[in-house]
Amino acid sequence: MNDRLSDTFAALADPTRRAILARLASGEAPVTELAKPFDMSMPAISKHLKVLERAGLVARGRDAQYRPRRLEAGPLKEAAEWLGTYRRFWEESFERLDEYLHELQTKEGKHDRSKRKK
């Protein structure tokens, strides 16, 4: 998995990492603070952060002994754009559902009452 999109999706495929991003959405934070919500060792968090950094989703700052992380949205945008090319498929299914419901409504009572609930 060497391409950008693969790295991004792989980074997002973990709830801990998504939670870290969610936290960073409300502002930059040092590692110890990012680690707080998780029942996990510091090195484990460090590794998750490294994954997020390699994917370009998170950047590392420095402030005294702190290494505050901040969100970098570029790769999220790319991922969203990739998904966007499939938008018509989920919109289509709504159209079909719509169509189906409409059909049910207009054909109401014409046949198959026996199988209708209540």
- Residues 32-61 touching DNA, rule: CB under 7 A, are 32-33, 39-44, 46-51, 60
Interaxial angle between packed helices 4-12 and 42-54, expressed in degrees from 0 to 180 and rounded to the nearest 10: 150
25 near DNA (CB under 7 A): no
Closest approach, Cβ 117 to a second copy, in A, equals 22
Residues 6+ apart with CB under 8 A from 68: 28, 29, 30, 60, 61, 62
Question: With CB under 7 A, what is the number of residues at the site for DNA?
Answer: 27
End-to-end CA distance of the chain: 53
Q: How far is it, in rounded angstroms, from Cα 81 to Cα 102?
A: 32
16 near DNA (CB under 7 A): yes
- Residues 43-82 touching a second copy, rule: CB under 8 A, are 71, 73-74, 76-77, 79-80, 82
Q: Which does 12 bind (CB under 5 to 8 A by kind): DNA, a second copy, none?
A: a second copy
Tokens standing for residue 46: 């460090």
Applying CB under 7 A, which residues contact DNA? 1, 10, 13-14, 16, 30-33, 39-44, 46-51, 60, 64-68
